[in-house]
Amino acid sequence: MLTLIEPPEYDIEIEMMYATPNNFTGKVIYSDKRCFLHPTAARLLKKAISLAAKQGLRIRVYDAYRPTTAQKILWEHNPDPNFITNPIKGSPHSRGVAIDMTLINSSTGKLLDMGGSFDDLSSKGFHGTTDISQVAQKNRMLLLGLMASAGFDHYLNEWWHYQLYNAHKYPLISNSAVCYKIHDF
């Protein structure tokens, strides 16, 4: 079972990027803009939201639960295991235990500079890269610290990706668990 993540229960902004063409494929992958997570991940997200608020920050979510059929489309577009999990293996997103996100300044409403965009499938997207400004490095470390303190693990190649520890121990969630309309190309 998945938990629906939405305000006001979760004080976040939601911009499901694969429900728009503003992602690395340039296409709408699924049309449902709702955000879902496994209940354990949802509980930890609430903790991350609270920790961020104490720093004058809010969270913007770019992706969470992702149907396996959508994962297959992403894999077919870019079959690079450094960035996309082969759908046969099963992505943490398709288990509902991963979240893609960034931070927003609560006072200004502006995104913190992370030195690159969500879905930057290059070495500039790596945690720990020094090929970005010091401000962006600091902001990535701030995000990492918040999410680690909340109980999430991270993926080294994507500054925006966080997941539950031992993500692959959680079962894949059926595409029919949520009525996402997947676009075929």
List phi, psi (to 5°) of 179: -85, 60
Q: How many CB atoms lie within 10 A of CB 81?
A: 10
pLDDT, one tens digit for every residue, the chain (185 residues)? 899 999 999 999 999 999 999 999 999 998 889 999 999 999 999 999 999 999 999 999 999 999 999 999 999 999 999 999 999 999 999 999 999 999 999 999 999 999 999 999 999 999 999 999 999 999 999 999 999 999 999 999 999 999 999 999 999 997 766 655 555 54
Domain residue spans of the chain: 3-177
Name every residue whose Cβ is closer than 8 Å to that of residue 75 and which is 6 or more positions away in sequence.
Answer: 84, 85, 86, 87
How far apart are alpha carbons 149 and 169 in whole angstroms?
21
Q: 3-177 maps to which CATH number?
A: 3.30.1380.10
Q: Long-range contacts for 137-145 (Cβ within 8 Å, ≥24 apart)?
A: 139/103, 139/112, 139/113, 139/114, 139/115, 140/114, 140/115, 142/55, 142/57, 142/103, 142/112, 143/101, 143/102, 143/103, 143/112, 143/114
Q: How many CB atoms lie within 10 A of CB 33?
A: 13
Q: Is 158 a known active-site residue? A: yes
Q: Which residues pair with 182 in a beta bridge?
A: 30
List phi, psi (to 5°) of 61: -95, 130
How far apart are alpha carbons 140 and 125 in whole angstroms?
10
Q: Which two tokens stand for residue 121?
A: 């499938």
The two most distant CA atoms of the chain are separated, in Å, by 44
